[in-house]
Amino acid sequence: MINYNKMIFELSNEGRVGYSLPRSSFNNYNIDDLNDNLKRKSELLLPEVSELDVLRHFTNISNKNFGVENGFYPLGSCTMKYNPKINEEMASNKAFRNLHPLQPISTVQGALEVYYNLQKYLSEISGLYEFSLNPFAGAHGELVGLMVIKAYHQDRGDFKRNKIIIPDSAHGTNPASTVVCGMEVIEIKSNDKGRVDLESLKAVLSDDIAGMMLTNPNTLGIFENDICEITKLVHDAGGLMYYDGANLNALLGKVRPGDMGFDVMHINLHKTFSTPHGGGGPGSGPVGVTEILSKYLPNPRVKKLDDYFYVENSGEALGQISAYFGNYLVALRAYTYIRTLGKENLKMVGRYATLNANYISKALKTAYDLPIPGYCMHEVVFNGLNNKDTDVKTLDIAKRLLDYGMHAPTIYFPLLFPQAIMIEPTETETKETIDEFINVMHKIAIEAKEHPEILKQAPTKTPIRRTDEVFAAKMMIFSYKDYLEYINNRG
């Protein structure tokens, strides 16, 4: 049996060649002309393997992975919807792929048009005046948005406002971004309906509040009915409202953050707008603001005069927060997605996403503990099994799902419920797939009662069983060199 668990370096055999390089276009270039400080001091450590071995190695690795294209992936808060192939086709088009960020503006008019139009689409979708596509991720967008809020207050000479109110149901990046921005977090409690508690909010409002960060529907998948009152309270106290729009799926085409009274927001293109994510790959977290705040948006900005697109670097801007324009090809994918669906179909996204989550909520509440009854938005949160006599935990349920060929939902988040299971089916799944998931979840509930040991041992069908997550997080091995060191030290 050939061992396909080997690292590619371990397959290396001196002198074996698996590549053929194209003829260099720098034929007249002499390596001796290079400055010494630009040359390698040691040999480049590369595996020497045949083309077939490379293919087998990576094909086998990819088979161990699980993605949206392998099976159902209801990871709550992550919006693992299908990424249409036409997006990839556009992003791999040479006309876009081979662009250089320093090319003369007159030669990239088409690329700038896409960029400019996407800014405008996001404004129309969210009800905010202007967008910057520069931030690289949701959390990066949060930081930029908070920097805008800070700049707004400090520009008015108001240096006291240094606190950001964040509900306890918020995504962990909200308090993290606040701290990175040099501001202080004020946490407020949710009420028993999973919503912002207005009395707790009023109690913390004062003249040192810079603003409030909120997701709506919130991280429990619940719509904040009091949103207009909340934004009014914060505005009256002199603060600004930040909308965490990482996930806009539930609202798409129905409700706009700008109309709810928000001043600043970010959107994750790599969630709602169907660009691939996971594994730390390229993302995009555009930031949108009201007209008053638009002068603070970072440089460079893409603008339009008559039919000409140009790049502006403004002195009033925050400065630059990314290399060049951000992740252009991610923006291009999102633009393709919006154009492919069109206005009418885009409006259906939120409806189907919400319908699917509610369908699951209703079908599973006989077996799973639904702590917040009633309608949810695009995702639903359970708190473990209804049967509290078993010692089967949410972790065991999640692991068992893997044996059934489905990705686990988000677990132990949000932190409000000790056995939280957060399911987000998205709109791109068929009724058959969702029914199968419901079926499997009911099977697992029965197993929990009759054969809990199966769940405690799960997963048994995955390439590895239960990992030591703390060890994996503390002892990250990124390179073959680190791996060798680890193996040698282990003895």
Ligand X SMILES: *Cc1c(COP(=O)(O)O)cnc(C)c1O
User: What is the nearest approach in angstroms of ligand X to the Cβ of residue 282?
Assistant: 10
| Residue from 292, 257, 307 nearest 124 by CA | 257
How many chain residues are in contact with ligand X, going by CB under 6 A? 14
Should residue 358 be labelled a site residue for ligand X when binding is judged by CB under 6 A? no
> Residue 195 has which token pair?
């919503």
**C-beta closer to ligand X: residue 77 or 299:** 77
Residue nearest to ligand X (CB): 138
What is the Cβ-side half-sphere exposure of residue 400, based on CA atoms within 13 angstroms? Answer: 23
Contact present, 146 and 242 (Cβ < 8 Å): yes
User: What is the nearest approach in angstroms of ligand X to the Cβ of residue 423?
Assistant: 14
Should residue 224 be labelled a site residue for ligand X when binding is judged by CB under 6 A? no
User: What is the nearest approach in angstroms of ligand X to the Cβ of residue 486?
Assistant: 28
414 CA to centre of own chain: 16
| Spatial distance between the Cα atoms of 295 and 315, rounded to a whole number of angstroms | 9
Question: At 358, which amino acid appears?
Answer: N
Q: Which of positions 267-306 make contact with ligand X (CB under 6 A)?
A: 268, 283, 285
Residue 477 has a CB neighbour count (10 Å cut-off) of 13
| Residue from 221, 287, 170, 278 nearest 426 by CA | 221
Among 134, 231, 247, 394, binds ligand X (CB under 6 A): 247
Should residue 222 be labelled a site residue for ligand X when binding is judged by CB under 6 A? no
Should residue 246 be labelled a site residue for ligand X when binding is judged by CB under 6 A? yes
| Spatial distance between the Cα atoms of 405 and 461, rounded to a whole number of angstroms | 9
**C-beta closer to ligand X: residue 238 or 245:** 245
Should residue 171 be labelled a site residue for ligand X when binding is judged by CB under 6 A? yes
Residues linked to residue 383 through DSSP beta bridges, in sequence order: 420
User: What is the nearest approach in angstroms of ligand X to the Cβ of residue 403?
Assistant: 27
User: What is the nearest approach in angstroms of ligand X to the Cβ of residue 173?
Assistant: 4
Q: Kindly write out the interface string for residues 181-220 of this chain, putting x where it contacts ligand X by CB under 6 A and - elsewhere.
A: ----------------------------------x---x-
| Residue from 178, 208, 202 nearest 189 by CA | 202
Exposure string of 56-71, with b = 16+ CB inside 10 Å and e = fewer, is: ebeeeeeeeebebeee
| Spatial distance between the Cα atoms of 313 and 398, rounded to a whole number of angstroms | 49
Interface region with ligand X, contact rule CB under 6 A, candidates 148-156, 241-249, 295-303, 461-469: 241-249
Should residue 81 be labelled a site residue for ligand X when binding is judged by CB under 6 A? no
**C-beta closer to ligand X: residue 237 or 411:** 411
What residue ranges bind ligand X (CB under 6 A)? 77, 137-139, 171, 173, 215, 219, 244, 246-247, 268, 283, 285
